[in-house]
């Protein structure tokens, strides 16, 4: 009997993930915080499936040190913490949860907009320091105000709908062509959005080109007394420039949930120059951290990992050719990930034909430099045939699923 497959889950992933994997026969270890590169390499000894959130980095060094790793589940939206291309080139599937915490993020943005427009952080600060300041000065309803959404993806578009339901006018800017929902208006440039928006909120992805894209020039183009919100990525906004525009009185408030450098785990110290700002909301990267969202993410990503491990299905993988598969009903299933070179399907079939093994079903998918063939066969190939499949030119990873 072979060893039990092993899974390592970091960063307080929802308990459902560990429970589900244990029920499917995995030896599961859980850890509360993130791990640094060397710590992660040590912890991955013998691990087949890794679950992380946003603080653990899976680099090429980690992948090279632990080549037996089969899949990484990112229990969050972003995947920029994983070297996706390198992982794919070593046969490691990566999966995430692109939709599961969308509602949680959107609700926090709505909350921040209302609180900042009503100057709730400033009033709370004054009350805590013994000052009774009952005044409507600087406080506004959100109804009739213009919300500028930078990045109109899953989060930005859902935010658009809810903000419009509150009576806000919605404008958005995206580098890609996006369908406007409701009465939202697409703006031709980022500057044109900033010039008309009473509130600006950032919802861009983790691509490297977004690093520092919202800086002094963009803050300078915002309306007098506008508010700024970033619940997307910590590296997209220049917080020093934000502080200057708050201190000068140009902007009336801000909410920041993500930072360029964040602690690895809860309880670690954290210092930011924004802490002394008057009308400021600071939250510790909790945009998607509701019990409902974390449970949904736990279900979604765990199912993707199990489908890949037990069936070879790459549905919704972010770095492998996508093939959707159900359980194998014949003798065995062979998954063959390879360099996307001509003739690989023929090479696989020739090995099986030589061994006189009947093919009952077969699927092929390609994506950029990778090809993925999944073949159901009537009988499990012998050791010589499996070795022949492994040594096909361009093979990256071959697995047999019974």
C-alpha distances (whole Å) from 9 to each of 28, 47, 200, 225 are 7, 10, 36, 44
CA 336/CA 399 separation, integer angstroms? 7
The active-site residue, picked from 24, 285, 299, 380, is 285
Looking at the fold, whether 240 and 358 belong to one and the same domain comes out as no
Looking at the fold, whether 162 and 116 belong to one and the same domain comes out as yes
Instruction: Give CA angle at 101 (95, 105), nearest 5°.
Output: 135
The pLDDT of residue 1 is: 40
Alpha-carbon dihedral sign for residues 60, 62, 64, 67: negative
Looking at the fold, whether 264 and 336 belong to one and the same domain comes out as no
The pLDDT of residue 3 is: 75
285 annotated active-site: yes
Looking at the fold, whether 134 and 231 belong to one and the same domain comes out as yes
233 annotated active-site: yes
Beta bridge partners of 118: none
Q: What CATH number does residue 369 fall under?
A: 3.30.70.260
The active-site residue, picked from 107, 195, 262, 295, is 262
The pLDDT of residue 264 is: 81
Mean pLDDT in each 10-residue stretch from start to end of the chain (402 residues)?
A: 84 95 97 94 97 95 97 93 96 94 96 98 94 93 98 96 98 95 97 98 89 95 98 95 98 97 88 95 94 94 97 96 92 96 96 96 96 96 96 96 86
CA 265/CA 379 separation, integer angstroms? 49
Q: What CATH number does residue 91 fall under?
A: 3.40.50.720
Looking at the fold, whether 12 and 80 belong to one and the same domain comes out as yes
Looking at the fold, whether 169 and 74 belong to one and the same domain comes out as no
Q: Please tell me the pTM assigned to this model.
A: 0.84
Place of tokens 């159900």: 326
What is the span of the domain harbouring residue 13? Answer: 1-101+290-320
The active-site residue, picked from 119, 233, 311, 333, is 233
Counting the structural domains of the chain, the total is 3
Looking at the fold, whether 308 and 348 belong to one and the same domain comes out as no
Three-state SS for 44?
coil
118 annotated active-site: no
CA 38/CA 22 separation, integer angstroms? 27
C-alpha distances (whole Å) from 291 to each of 21, 100, 209 are 20, 11, 32
CA 337/CA 333 separation, integer angstroms? 13
Looking at the fold, whether 206 and 135 belong to one and the same domain comes out as yes
Looking at the fold, whether 232 and 337 belong to one and the same domain comes out as no
Structural domain ending residue among the three candidates 320, 338, 367? 320
Looking at the fold, whether 230 and 271 belong to one and the same domain comes out as yes
Cβ atoms of 39 and 66 closer than 8 Å: no
Looking at the fold, whether 153 and 196 belong to one and the same domain comes out as yes
Beta-carbon contacts of 260 under 8 Å, excluding residues fewer than 6 positions away, are 234, 235, 239
Looking at the fold, whether 83 and 221 belong to one and the same domain comes out as no
The pLDDT of residue 267 is: 86
């Amino acid at each position: 009997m072979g060893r039990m497959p092993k899974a390592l889950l970091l960063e307080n992933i929802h308990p459902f993930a560990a429970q589900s994997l244990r029920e499917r026969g995995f030896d599961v270890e859980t850890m509360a915080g993130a791990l640094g590169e060397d710590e992660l390499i040590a912890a991955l000894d013998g691990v087949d499936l890794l679950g992380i959130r946003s603080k653990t980095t899976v680099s090429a060094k980690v992948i090279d040190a632990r080549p037996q790793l089969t899949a990484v589940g990112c229990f969050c939206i972003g995947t920029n913490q994983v070297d996706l291309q390198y992982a794919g080139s070593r046969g490691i599937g990566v999966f995430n949860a692109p939709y599961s915490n969308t509602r949680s993020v959107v609700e926090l943005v709505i909350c921040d907009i209302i609180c900042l427009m009503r100057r709730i952080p400033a009033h709370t600060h004054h009350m805590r320091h013994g000052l009774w300041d009952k005044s409507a000065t600087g406080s506004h309803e959100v109804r009739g105000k213009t919300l500028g959404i930078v990045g109109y993806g899953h989060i930005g578009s859902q935010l658009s709908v809810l903000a419009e339901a509150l009576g806000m006018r919605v404008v958005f800017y995206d580098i890609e062509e996006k369908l406007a929902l409701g009465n939202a208006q697409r703006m031709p440039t980022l500057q044109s959005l900033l010039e008309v928006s009473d509130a600006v909120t950032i919802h861009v992805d983790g691509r490297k080109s977004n690093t520092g894209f919202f800086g002094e020039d963009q803050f300078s183009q915002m309306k007098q007394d506008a508010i700024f919100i970033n619940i997307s990525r910590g590296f997209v906004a220049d917080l020093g420039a934000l502080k200057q525009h708050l201190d000068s009185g140009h902007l009336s408030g801000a909410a920041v949930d993500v930072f360029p450098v964040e602690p690895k785990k809860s309880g670690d110290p954290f210092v930011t120059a924004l802490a002394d700002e008057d009308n400021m909301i600071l939250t510790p990267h909790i945009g998607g951290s509701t019990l409902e969202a974390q449970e949904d993410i736990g279900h979604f990503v765990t199912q993707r990992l199990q489908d890949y491990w037990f069936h070879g299905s790459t549905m919704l993988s972010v770095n492998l050719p996508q093939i959707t598969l159900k359980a194998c009903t014949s003798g065995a299933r062979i998954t063959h990930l390879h360099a996307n070179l001509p003739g690989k399907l023929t090479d696989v079939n020739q090995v099986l034909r030589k061994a006189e093994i009947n093919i009952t079903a077969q699927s092929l998918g390609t994506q950029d430099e990778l090809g993925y063939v999944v073949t159901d066969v009537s009988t499990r190939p012998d050791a010589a045939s499996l070795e022949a499949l492994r040594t096909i030119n361009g093979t990256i990873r071959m697995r047999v699923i019974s």
